[in-house]
């Protein structure tokens, strides 16, 4: 029943499905494998390929797993073609059953009896109190109705169903009860105002556009389930979108995003609590730099998460639990340095955040703040050395902290970490596109493969600090190139 409902194929087409009917198409631009179901020619002699949805894939895999049993191979059975009146050769039919010790193919009569028995068991009745009776062809009507009501153009549905005439397809859709006949008349009247070309056989270009829709629905963690020809309303917040169909293999990344957001909130609350505690211990507290009472000096630096874009870090609310009983924010520089030397996994991220918070603390001497920043860089780079962090995020965190030190504490050409020229060189080395290349790709980025979209977003993250960096560079080719990047960055997705 589910295969009939999800495919809209005919009775004879269902009974001719074999293990070999399940095929695939690989999209050359992305390498993505699209599962397809091959429907053998029948009635109109029209061979078709249907896209296998996740729901249909689950049903087909269940059928195959049941048929294989312990033999790991689907039995080969012969079947009789009632239309051509010939016996087909042995094939691994998906719809076969055991009768005694033999494997036999389902017949059209047996299929109809199974449907009648299933409906009888449910006890469902029509408005007149009679038991519902369904034929296999009724599921074909249901499929067409649901597809068109969900936005599929009628002429596309015609191709999927293998109809020669669009009128046939629209007739399948016309199965509504009399209570909404007025709505059908309204739709018919409105269709009369539309161009007739909307109800015709699609051209090759239109069919290609229909297939390309599924490629454009790819997002970084799998697929968006929005309807054909509909725009994405959650372009920059796809994690919250109800139409997202995440790949189970990406569960780790989703957990990382969740943990990062939870930890950033907890970090902000801890810093706010620490600031209130300091104010309560001081009889005449010094105005915080950057507060409304401050009249001069540099602004108070943001929290350790504020200089990072959402999702750029790999924080975790469970990070501090790996060192139970210790608050790294109270540790000395030497103690935290020894801890970082042996730390792994989330311990490194916790140490990075703690050291960075100390670097932001304006009560420390300037040289001490540089040392704390250097320690934060060490923890960050060790995450990359031990493959504990995402390379792009680790690199961005490195660039952002170095930029903050150069901007707030001043550059130091004797130390590569605090040299504007060294940071500029490292930034350019990390970029794989030139500004003109990135700008050209950004013009039609929605049509790009997922990999290229991610690369453009990586470039946007890695160039977030350039607007501040160019102010510390002398005029020259490097500065001009970075200025070009600052103009290109807003164009990137």
C-beta separation of 424 from 473 below 8 A:
yes
Higher local confidence (pLDDT), 318 or 157: 157
Lowest mean pLDDT among 282-286, 325-329, 335-339, 483-487: 282-286
Q: What is the rounded CA–CA span in Å between residue 222 and residue 244?
A: 8
Phi, psi of 358 (to 5 degrees): -65, -35
C-beta separation of 37 from 110 below 8 A:
no
Q: Which strand (E) or helix (H) includes residue 485?
A: helix 477-488
Lowest mean pLDDT among 10-24, 361-375, 381-395: 381-395
Q: Provide Rg for the chain, Cα atoms.
A: 32
Instruction: Map out the domains of the chain as residue ranges.
Output: 1-128, 256-285+297-388, 419-493
Q: What is the rounded CA–CA span in Å between residue 319 and residue 266?
A: 11
Rounded to an integer, the average pLDDT of 303-329 is 42
Length, in residues, of the chain? 493
Under the banding of pLDDT at 50, 70 and 90, the label for residue 300 is very low
Q: For the segment 81-112, what is each residue's pLDDT rounded down to a tens digit?
A: 777 788 888 888 888 888 888 888 888 888 88
Query: Which residues, including other chains, have CB under 8 Å from residue 15's CB and lie 6 or more apart?
Result: 79, 93, 95, 105, 106, 107, 108, 111
Higher local confidence (pLDDT), 223 or 59: 59
Residue position matching structure tokens 């000395």: 332
For residue 406, with 0-12 CB atoms within 10 Å meaning exposed, 13-18 middle and 19 or more buried, which class applies?
buried
The predicted model scores a pTM of 0.40
Residue 457's closest CA among 235, 256, 156? 235
Under the banding of pLDDT at 50, 70 and 90, the label for residue 311 is very low
Q: Which strand (E) or helix (H) includes residue 218?
A: strand 218-219
Lowest mean pLDDT among 118-127, 133-142, 215-224, 268-277: 215-224
Locate 189 and state its tokens: 């009247």
Of all residues in the chain, the percent with pLDDT exceeding 90 is: 16
Q: How many CB atoms sit inside 10 A of residue 384's CB?
A: 17
Lowest mean pLDDT among 281-290, 324-333, 355-364, 476-485: 281-290
Q: What is the rounded CA–CA span in Å between residue 177 and residue 154?
A: 20
Q: Which of 247-251, 271-275, 327-331, 351-355 has the highest mean pLDDT?
A: 351-355
pLDDT > 50? residue 289:
no
Q: Please name every residue paired with 99 in a beta bridge, in sequence order, or none if there are none.
A: 102
pLDDT of residue 320: 38
Q: In Å, what is the CA distance from 109 to each residue of 65, 95, 115?
A: 25, 13, 10
pLDDT of residue 8: 78
pLDDT of residue 315: 34
Rounded to an integer, the average pLDDT of 230-253 is 64
Under the banding of pLDDT at 50, 70 and 90, the label for residue 323 is very low
pLDDT of residue 459: 92
Locate 239 and state its tokens: 């994690």
Q: Please name every residue paired with 26 in a beta bridge, in sequence order, or none if there are none.
A: 33
Higher local confidence (pLDDT), 483 or 174: 483
Q: What is the mean pLDDT of the chain?
A: 75
Count of H-run helices and E-run strands, the chain: 19, 10
pLDDT of residue 177: 47
- The per-residue DSSP string of 27-69 comes to -TTT--EEEEEEEPP-TTT--EEEE--HHHHHHHHHHHHHHHT
Q: In Å, what is the CA distance from 289 to each residue of 107, 204, 285?
A: 83, 65, 12
pLDDT of residue 21: 84
Rounded to an integer, the average pLDDT of 47-52 is 75
Q: What is the rounded CA–CA span in Å between residue 87 and residue 91?
A: 11
For residue 329, with 0-12 CB atoms within 10 Å meaning exposed, 13-18 middle and 19 or more buried, which class applies?
middle
C-beta separation of 358 from 373 below 8 A:
no
Higher local confidence (pLDDT), 55 or 318: 55
pLDDT of residue 349: 83
Q: For the segment 181-230, what is each residue's pLDDT rounded down to a tens digit?
A: 554 565 566 667 777 766 666 777 776 777 666 666 666 566 666 666 66
pLDDT of residue 189: 65
Higher local confidence (pLDDT), 73 or 284: 73
Q: For the segment 373-416, what is each residue's pLDDT rounded down to a tens digit?
A: 999 999 888 887 765 557 888 888 899 999 999 988 999 989 99
Work out the end-to-end distance of the chain between its first and last CA atoms, rounded to an integer number of angstroms.
Answer: 43
Lowest mean pLDDT among 5-19, 21-35, 225-239, 393-407: 225-239
Rounded to an integer, the average pLDDT of 71-79 is 83
Rounded to an integer, the average pLDDT of 320-340 is 71
Q: What is the rounded CA–CA span in Å between residue 247 and residue 245?
A: 7
Under the banding of pLDDT at 50, 70 and 90, the label for residue 427 is very high
Q: How many CB atoms sit inside 10 A of residue 114's CB?
A: 14
For residue 491, with 0-12 CB atoms within 10 Å meaning exposed, 13-18 middle and 19 or more buried, which class applies?
middle
pLDDT > 90? residue 485:
yes
């Amino acid at each position: 029943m589910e295969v009939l409902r999800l495919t809209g194929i005919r009775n004879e087409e269902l009974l001719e499905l074999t293990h070999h009917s399940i095929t695939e198409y690989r999209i050359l631009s992305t390498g993505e494998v699209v599962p397809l179901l091959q429907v053998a020619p029948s009635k109109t002699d029209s061979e078709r390929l249907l896209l296998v949805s996740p729901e249909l894939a689950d049903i087909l895999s269940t059928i195959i797993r049941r048929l294989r049993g312990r033999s790991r191979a689907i039995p080969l059975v012969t079947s009789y073609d009632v239309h051509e009146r010939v016996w087909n050769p042995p094939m691994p039919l998906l719809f076969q059953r055991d009768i005694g010790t033999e494997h036999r193919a389902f017949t059209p009569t047996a299929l109809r009896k199974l449907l009648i028995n299933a409906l009888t068991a449910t006890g469902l009745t029509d408005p007149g109190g009679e038991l519902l009776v369904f034929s296999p062809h009724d599921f074909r009507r249901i499929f067409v109705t649901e597809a068109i009501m969900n936005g599929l153009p009628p002429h596309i549905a015609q191709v999927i169903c293998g109809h020669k005439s669009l009128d046939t397809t629209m007739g399948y859709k016309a199965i509504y009860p009399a209570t909404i006949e007025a709505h059908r008349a309204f739709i018919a009247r409105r269709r009369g105002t539309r161009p007739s070309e909307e109800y015709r056989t699609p051209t090759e270009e239109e069919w290609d556009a229909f297939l390309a829709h599924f490629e454009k629905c790819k997002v970084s963690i799998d697929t968006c389930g929005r309807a054909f020809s509909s725009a994405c309303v959650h372009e920059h917040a796809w994690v919250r979108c109800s139409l997202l169909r995440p790949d189970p293999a990406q569960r780790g990344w989703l957990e990382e995003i969740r943990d990062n957001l939870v930890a950033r909130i907890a970090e902000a609350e801890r810093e706010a609590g620490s600031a209130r505690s300091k104010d309560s211990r001081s009889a005449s507290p010094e105005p915080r730099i950057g507060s409304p009472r401050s009249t001069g000096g540099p602004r108070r630096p943001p929290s350790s998460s504020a200089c990072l874009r959402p999702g750029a870090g790999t924080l975790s609310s469970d990070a501090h639990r790996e060192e139970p009983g210790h608050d790294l924010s109270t540790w000395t520089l030497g103690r935290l340095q020894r801890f970082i030397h042996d730390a792994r996994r989330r311990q490194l991220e916790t140490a990075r955040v703690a050291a960075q918070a100390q670097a932001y603390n304006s009560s420390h001497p300037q040289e001490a703040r540089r040392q704390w920043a250097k320690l934060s860089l060490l923890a960050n780079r060790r995450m990359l050395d031990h493959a504990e962090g995402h390379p792009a995020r680790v690199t961005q965190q490195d660039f952002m902290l170095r930029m903050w030190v150069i901007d707030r504490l001043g550059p130091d050409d004797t130390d590569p970490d605090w040299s504007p020229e060294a940071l500029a060189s490292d930034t350019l080395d990390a970029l794989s596109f030139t500004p003109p290349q990135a700008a050209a790709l950004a013009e039609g980025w929605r049509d790009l493969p997922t990999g290229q979209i991610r690369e453009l977003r990586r470039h946007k993250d890695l160039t977030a600090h350039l607007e501040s960096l160019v102010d510390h560079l002398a005029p020259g080719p490097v500065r001009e190139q970075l200025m070009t990047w600052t103009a290109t960055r807003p164009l990137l997705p």
